[in-house]
């Protein structure tokens, strides 16, 4: 029996991409024999919600330590060890950058290095990650990434031995059962471009608003829907919307439920993913699974993830973005090819395969 601890904190609150990775991983692990899983929570206020967030068979463990104080302690020392939360374990998987001091084998998930490459795009607390990762390197931790692009970045940036950095592609969140009619009702139109993700500088939504505005004059029924929580730095998005000639057709409903996310995907004409930088990116694959054409950018790992199943442009080329959106909206032949390739592409990502590979990593770390 392997005693495995995972950081379950990303399961709490509105579900981010990291939360989707942790959710899919822990659900699949809970089905596997020979693995005893405990999810620990680095939170004070949300500690009582952790038990409800994990699947049956997974033990929830939390302490009355404020997360900020714990992180500050881990930036300066090797205490408190994660065993204070979990009890004795064989392997700990720090699922969200913050590797804890431990006597066990350690795996740390790194989803991107935006805090190194583009510090202007990240929230202040992410600036602790470089030192936390350096400490994990010194402890001999292994690292898990969700793309080869980020794997190469981690090896180069932190001088980690290549054999200790393992790329494991995740599965994708479930999108079955979306109601296209309900999605169109939510959008307020039969034809809309959909963007999914936190409204923050890295997502490059001001460029999307300008590209949409260039199309909207000739397409009076078209609407842009940007569905995601407001992160930091949303002022640039607000300014872009305010400056748009067709601002009344830009809708930002905020965070949407999993059901409404599926509905919006089912009814969308195109999925736009215009990021400056990504370490993976679920929305393009979710759109492909829903049979929706994708327009995205040459941003970090995105080309690796989407393959030949999307139209790609440079992040800062608003004209090219507008042209690609127009093509995906109006060219029936291109739409058909993108949908066919997308349905094939998304099948390459499964939680069964991901957890098979993670279990191999855990065994190597335990050994």
Indicate the pLDDT class of residue 262, thresholds 50, 70 and 90.
very high
Are 72 and 24 part of one and the same domain? yes
Indicate the pLDDT class of residue 122, thresholds 50, 70 and 90.
confident
**pTM, rounded to two decimals:** 0.94
CA quadruple 299, 115, 151, 360: dihedral sign: negative
The 10s digit of each residue's pLDDT in 56-68 is: 999 999 887 888 8
Are 344 and 355 part of one and the same domain? no
* Under 8 Å between Cβ of 279 and 146: yes
- Please give the tally of structural domains in the chain: 2
Are 63 and 132 part of one and the same domain? yes
Tokens of 306: 């989407």
* Under 8 Å between Cβ of 8 and 53: yes
- The CATH code of the domain that includes 30 is 3.40.50.2000
Are 229 and 159 part of one and the same domain? no
Are 6 and 25 part of one and the same domain? yes
- In whole angstroms, how large is the CA radius of gyration of the chain? 21
State the residue for tokens 């127009």.
326
Are 344 and 217 part of one and the same domain? yes
Q: Residues, the chain, total?
A: 367
Are 191 and 333 part of one and the same domain? yes
The string of DSSP codes covering 131-162 is: HHHHHHHHHT-EEEESSHHHHHHHHHHH---G
How open is the CA angle 57-105-173, to the nearest 5 degrees? Answer: 45
Asked whether the predicted pLDDT for residue 46 surpasses 80, the reply is no
Task: Give SS3 for 306.
Answer: helix
d(C-alpha 200, C-alpha 208), whole Å: 13
Give residue 349's pLDDT.
Answer: 97
Give residue 295's pLDDT.
Answer: 98
Indicate the pLDDT class of residue 8, thresholds 50, 70 and 90.
very high
Asked whether the predicted pLDDT for residue 47 surpasses 80, the reply is no
The 10s digit of each residue's pLDDT in 172-185 is: 998 888 999 999 99
Give residue 5's pLDDT.
Answer: 98
Are 14 and 125 part of one and the same domain? yes
**pLDDT above 70 coverage of the chain, percent:** 100
Tokens of 312: 């790609």
Are 241 and 312 part of one and the same domain? yes
Contacts of 359 (CB under 8 A, 6+ apart): 32, 35
Are 192 and 44 part of one and the same domain? no
Give residue 231's pLDDT.
Answer: 84
Bridge partners for 6 per DSSP: 39, 93
Are 24 and 61 part of one and the same domain? yes
The 10s digit of each residue's pLDDT in 81-109 is: 999 999 999 999 999 999 999 999 999 99
Q: In terms of residue numbers, what domain contains 60?
A: 2-171+350-366
Asked whether the predicted pLDDT for residue 149 surpasses 80, the reply is yes
Q: Which residue from 167, 214, 222 is spatially nearest to 192, judged by alpha carbons? A: 222
Are 111 and 207 part of one and the same domain? no
**Burial of 64 (C-beta count, 10 Å sphere; 0-12/13-18/19+):** exposed
Contacts of 60 (CB under 8 A, 6+ apart): 8, 38, 39, 40, 41, 50, 51, 53, 54
State the residue for tokens 């350690």.
106
């Amino acid at each position: 029996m392997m005693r495995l601890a995972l950081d379950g904190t990303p399961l709490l609150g509105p579900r981010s991409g990291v939360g989707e990775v942790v959710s899919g991983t822990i659900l699949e692990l809970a089905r596997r024999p020979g693995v005893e899983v405990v999810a620990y929570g680095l939170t004070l206020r949300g500690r009582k919600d952790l038990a409800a967030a994990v699947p049956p068979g997974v033990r929830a463990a939390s302490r009355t330590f404020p997360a900020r104080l714990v992180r500050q302690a881990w930036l300066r020392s090797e205490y408190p060890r994660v065993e204070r939360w979990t009890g004795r374990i064989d392997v700990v998987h720090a699922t969200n950058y913050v590797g804890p001091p431990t006597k066990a084998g350690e795996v740390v998930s790194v989803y991107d290095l935006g805090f190194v490459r583009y510090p202007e795009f990240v929230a202040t607390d992410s600036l602790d990650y470089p030192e936390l990762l350096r400490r994990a390197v010194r402890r001999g931790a292994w690292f898990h990434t969700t793309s080869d692009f980020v794997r190469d970045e981690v090896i180069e940036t932190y001088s980690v031995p290549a054999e200790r950095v393992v790329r494991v592609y995740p599965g994708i969140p479930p999108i079955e059962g979306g109601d296209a009619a309900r999605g169109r009702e939510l959008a307020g139109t039969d034809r809309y471009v959909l963007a999914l993700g936190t409204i923050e500088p890295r997502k490059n939504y001001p460029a999307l608003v300008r590209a949409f505005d260039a199309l909207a004059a000739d397409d009076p029924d078209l609407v842009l829907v940007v569905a995601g929580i407001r992160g930091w730095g949303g002022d640039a998005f607000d300014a872009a919307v305010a400056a748009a000639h067709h601002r009344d057709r830009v809708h930002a409903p905020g965070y949407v439920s999993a059901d409404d996310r599926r509905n919006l995907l089912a009814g969308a004409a195109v999925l736009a993913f215009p990021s400056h930088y990504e370490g993976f990116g679920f929305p393009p694959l979710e759109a492909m699974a829903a049979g929706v054409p994708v327009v995205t950018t040459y941003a970090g790992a995105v080309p690796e993830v989407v393959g030949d199943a999307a139209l790609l442009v440079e992040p800062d080329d608003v004209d090219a973005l507008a042209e690609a959106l127009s093509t995906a909206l109006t060219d029936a032949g291109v739409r058909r090819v993108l949908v066919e390739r997308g349905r094939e592409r998304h099948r390459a990502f499964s939680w069964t395969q991901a957890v098979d590979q993670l279990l191999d990593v855990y065994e190597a770390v335990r050994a």
